[in-house]
């Protein structure tokens, strides 16, 4: 290993007394982001005003930052652009992909993130009754890809279980029957080396506030394979995806390649935070990251299974099928997570019964794993999660 | 007048040597926004991490901030929500409105902002060949609203000319023929008292980075009239518009009322800047604002017309038909604007030949108007705009 994870850890602010195993929900604050956001507000917005769009390079940020994301997801340079939320980008990819097919079936799986399914349901309703979203169990996807399918829409890593799909195999299967495939990389980008080009993705989308540490509500990204990018008709055809936005023509003409997937005015403060957060990745070899992640998840699984027999592992033991998280099932999962958080171990609960722990080698090491195992073991042995204050539900966990 | 505009001016950072008449493109930095954004980054994201969604109130920001916007646009409380970009909100309103009608014609005007037209064109293409966007000249809209029209989609104030539509009259005409009406308030919200409820809007959308000073890429808003908000089927049906987002159900069920128009994870840094920017409005009476705005635009028109005979006024002289900007036409408009900017008077150029000046009483007064008139007069008299450096086009103006 050449990556110095002690050095990357020093690039983040981590509160005292916290073991943070929830970077797969919201990454922590990169120290450089504070100064960068302040500079954007004070020196750029404050002093340049409207001139910031040119002089501070705001207008090009979605492409400039997209090029840095491209390196992390194995995309060809110039084929990723930032903007909107992940749900919007799912919709955009899906509507554009459906327009490239004569078929009307969208295939997904029951492990997909609900918002992806909701956006597809809404699009089907908008398009009319012939369009349908079909969902099967994750393990049944490969058999369900047949020549009725227009578009396969999958999230590579299951947000609850941490199960990872085989991108290359499923993309090949989709293409073999004449379907297109969209990959949601929400739990992949920054979690391990992703290969959208090598893996045959037609479209890929993802968010940046998880493993990429862009902060709450950071912008999403979209990738369109080069074989499609000059001919795809963008759904959500906004002015900044126009060939010449400042000509103010009354008719839409798509911009060059991936630029056409831009929609409206980009969120510059969020992009500034993201751009600073991406500096951390200059120091990281993604293969090192993957090795470290697997070592951490293996260590956590072994520790918890040795000490907590009532927690049922739901994450695959097979490295090839695992993302960068570990999930356990327990009927009292919600209360157990609240008890953990009260002791400074922050993970996530996902309904109905999943305890989810994200492992992010940039700032989590063996000490954090061992500390979390010790605290979880103590909670499970004592039954302390049964207190009323841990069982009362709040809106978000 | 009871509003103290000298006091509101002190709430903004305005760079030395600049007369800023472009707050209708990007409002200047409210001083409180700097501290608020830093607090959000350092104390909330940095210390609370994922807990910020509950403990810092991030999850409720789109509704909480929406309620403050509601007061500025004459909306019923609880019927405005923030998120996405204006183009996305236009699409969402339009797709939802079309679904409420059996008709297939969208009517707009040639003065609408191009992105609104582009989003409608894209939606029509996605929906299929029966759907059509029809555009007429602004003055022909009222006659063109007939019983073939499903949805009338208009921007209240023309981004180039500053011409203001009669919201109440056009809404009434739409309703009389069984059509719905969507109002884009990009150049209205924060520019004068808007009355979406009194004016009969079915949907309204707008951005916040112009007269509301939320900073580059600040989030948009959407209003749905109470008579529709519990039955409208949201297009772009994302997880945060779900009745119970954290149940992670696989089927979409719309949330209560306006909440269903939320889509994905909201941009918290941008919302924080907006929330701080809205504090300025606590000190402002909107009728005072309108009086001051009309006095400023009248003064600017009189000054320019007296000194610059080759500039042709395109903004209506009639107060009832004027927004809060003044536009002049000149074949060399681009170069003239560059010459003005070089002397510290920042306005906008809008292709092909419009010089656009925004008047924002919160921080622009008679001194700025007189200063701008003097500099513009000197440039026009000297012909200094004819220098090559002013004629070379940059990407954004």
Task: Inspect the interface and report whether the beta carbons of A115 and B52 lie closer than 8 Å.
Answer: no
Look at residue A1 in the predicted model and tell me its pLDDT. Answer: 60
pLDDT for residue A397? 43
Q: Which tokens belong to B11?
A: 């709430």
**pLDDT range class, residue B394, cuts 50, 70, 90:** low
Q: A48 near A252, Cβ under 8 Å?
A: no
**Cβ contact (<8 Å) for A85 and B86?**
no
Task: Look at A217 and B26 and tell me if their CB atoms are within 8 Å.
Answer: no
* CB neighbour class for B309 (10 Å; exposed up to 12, middle 13-18, buried from 19): exposed
| Closest residue on chain B to A215 (Cα) | B45
User: Could you check whether B5-30+285-391 and B59-282 share the same CATH topology?
Assistant: no
Q: What is the pLDDT of residues B26-83, one digit of tens each?
A: 999 999 999 999 999 999 999 999 999 999 999 999 999 999 999 999 999 999 999 9
Question: Out of A110, A115, A122, whose CB is closest to B234?
Answer: A122
> In this predicted structure, what is the pLDDT of residue A82?
98
Out of 2.30.110.10, 3.40.50.170, 3.40.50.1970, 3.40.640.10, select the CATH number for domain B59-282.
3.40.640.10
Tokens read off for B218: 């600040």
Q: Which residues of B touch A395 (CB under 8 A)?
A: 54, 59, 246
Residue B72 has what pLDDT?
98
Q: What are the structural domain ranges in chain B?
A: 5-30+285-391, 59-282
> Strand, helix or coil at B55?
helix
Q: Which two tokens stand for residue A21?
A: 């195993």
Residue B358 contacts by C-beta under 8 Å, 6 or more apart in sequence?
B21, B22, B23, B24, B25, B210, B211, B324, B325, B347, B348
Provide DSSP, B361-387: TTT--HHHHHHHHHHHHHHHHHTGGGS
Please give the Cα distance from B283 to B289 (Å, whole number): 11
Pairing of strands A203-206, A221-224: antiparallel
Query: Residue B397: pLDDT band by 50, 70, 90 thresholds?
Result: very low
Residue A10 CB-density burial (10 A; 0-12 exposed, 13-18 middle, 19+ buried)? exposed
Q: What number is the average pLDDT over the span B107-135? A: 95
pLDDT tens-place string over residues B164-202: 999 999 999 999 999 999 999 999 999 999 999 999 999
Nearest CB partner across the interface for B117, out of A15, A58, A250: A250
Interface A-B, measured as beta-carbon pairs within 8 A, has a size of 282
DSSP three-state, residue A182? strand
Cβ–Cβ < 8 Å for B141, B129: no
For residues B268-286, give the mean pLDDT. 97
Q: Could you report the per-residue pLDDT of B75-100, keeping only the tens digit for each?
A: 999 999 999 999 999 999 999 999 99
Q: For chain B, what is the mean pLDDT?
A: 96
Per residue in B316-334, pLDDT (tens digit) is: 999 999 999 999 999 999 9
Cα–Cα distances (Å) from A38 to A59, A131, B210, in that order, read: 19, 47, 20
Express each pLDDT in A165-174 by its tens digit. Answer: 999 999 999 9
> Between vectors from CA B387 to CA B383 and to CA B391, what angle results, nearest 5°?
110
**Model confidence band, residue A132 (pLDDT cutoffs 50, 70, 90):** very high
Q: What does residue B260 show for φ and ψ, rounded to 5 degrees?
A: -70, -15
Angle at A141 between CA A137 and CA A147, to 5 degrees: 135
pLDDT at A266 over 80: yes
pLDDT at B391: 87
- Tell me which chain A residues have a C-beta less than 8 angstroms from the C-beta of B125: 99, 233
CA-CA distances (angstroms) from residue A313 to A163, A166, A275, A299, A310?
11, 21, 36, 13, 10
Name the residue among B25, B28, B264 with its Cβ closest to that of A87: B264
In which band, very low, low, confident or very high, does the pLDDT at B102 lie, cut at 50, 70 and 90? very high
pLDDT band at A392 (very low <50, low <70, confident <90, very high): confident
Backbone angles phi, psi at B325, to 5 degrees: -135, 165
Q: Domain B5-30+285-391 belongs to what topology?
A: 3.90.1150
Residues with Cβ < 8 Å from B166, sequence gap 6 or more? B320, B321
Residue B139's pLDDT is: 97
What is the spatial distance between Cα A245 and Cα A235, in angstroms, rounded to a whole number? 17
C-alpha dihedral (B119, B121, B127, B129), degrees to nearest 10? 180
Per-residue pLDDT tens digits for A199-214:
999 999 999 999 999 9
Judge: A125–B233 Cβ closer than 8 Å, yes or no. yes
Alpha-carbon span A79 to A69, nearest angstrom: 10
pLDDT over threshold 90, residue B106: yes
Chain A residue with Cα closest to B19:
A49
What are φ and ψ of residue B20, in 5° steps? -100, 105
Contact A41 B50 (CB under 8 A): no
pLDDT band per the 50, 70, 90 thresholds, residue A391:
confident
- Rounded Cα distance between A166 and A152, Å, is 13
The pLDDT tens digits for A287-315 are: 999 999 999 999 999 999 999 999 999 99
**Nearest CA among A64, A83, A364 for reference residue A240:** A83
Which among A21, A355, A227, A127 is positioned nearest to B99, based on CA atoms? A127
CB-CB neighbours of B247 under 10 Å: 12
């Amino acid at each position: 290993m050449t990556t110095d994870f002690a050095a990357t850890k020093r690039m983040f602010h981590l509160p005292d007394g916290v073991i943070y195993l929830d970077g797969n929900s919201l990454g922590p604050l990169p120290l450089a982001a504070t100064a960068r956001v302040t500079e954007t507000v004070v020196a750029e917005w404050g002093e340049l005003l409207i001139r910031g769009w040119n002089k501070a390079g705001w207008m090009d940020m979605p492409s400039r930052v997209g090029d840095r994301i491209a390196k992390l997801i194995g995309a060809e340079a110039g084929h990723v652009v930032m903007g909107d939320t992940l749900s919007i980008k799912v919709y955009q990819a899906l509507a554009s992909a459906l327009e490239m097919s004569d078929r009307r079936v969208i295939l997904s799986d029951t492990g997909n993130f609900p918002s992806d399914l909701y956006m597809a349901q809404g699009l089907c309703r908008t398009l009319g009754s012939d369009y349908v979203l079909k969902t099967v169990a994750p393990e049944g996807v490969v058999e369900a890809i047949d020549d009725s399918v227009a578009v396969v829409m999958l999230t590579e890593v299951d947000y609850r279980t941490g199960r990872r799909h085989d991108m290359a195999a499923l993309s090949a299967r989709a293409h073999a029957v004449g379907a297109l495939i969209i990959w949601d990389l929400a739990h992949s980008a920054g979690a391990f080396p992703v290969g959208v080009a090598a893996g045959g993705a037609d479209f890929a989308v993802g968010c940046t506030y998880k493993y990429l540490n862009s902060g709450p509500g950071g912008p999403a990204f979209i990738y369109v394979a080069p074989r499609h990018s000059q001919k795809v008709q963008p759904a959500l055809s906004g002015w900044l995806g126009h060939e010449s936005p400042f000509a103010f023509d009354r008719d839409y003409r798509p911009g060059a390649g991936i630029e056409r997937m831009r929609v409206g005015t980009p969120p510059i403060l969020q992009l500034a935070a993201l751009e600073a957060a991406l500096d951390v990745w200059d120091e990281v070899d993604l293969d090192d990251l993957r090795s470290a992640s697997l070592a951490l998840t293996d260590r956590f699984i072994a520790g918890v299974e040795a000490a907590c027999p009532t927690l049922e592992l739901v994450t695959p033991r097979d490295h090839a099928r695992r993302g960068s998280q570990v999930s356990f099932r327990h009927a009292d999962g919600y209360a157990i997570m609240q008890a953990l958080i009260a002791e400074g171990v922050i993970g996530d609960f996902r309904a109905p019964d999943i305890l989810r722990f994200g492992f992010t080698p940039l700032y989590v090491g063996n000490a954090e794993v061992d500390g979390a195992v010790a605290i979880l073991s103590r909670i499970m042995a004592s039954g302390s999660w049964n207190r009323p204050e841990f069982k009362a539900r709040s809106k978000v966990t």
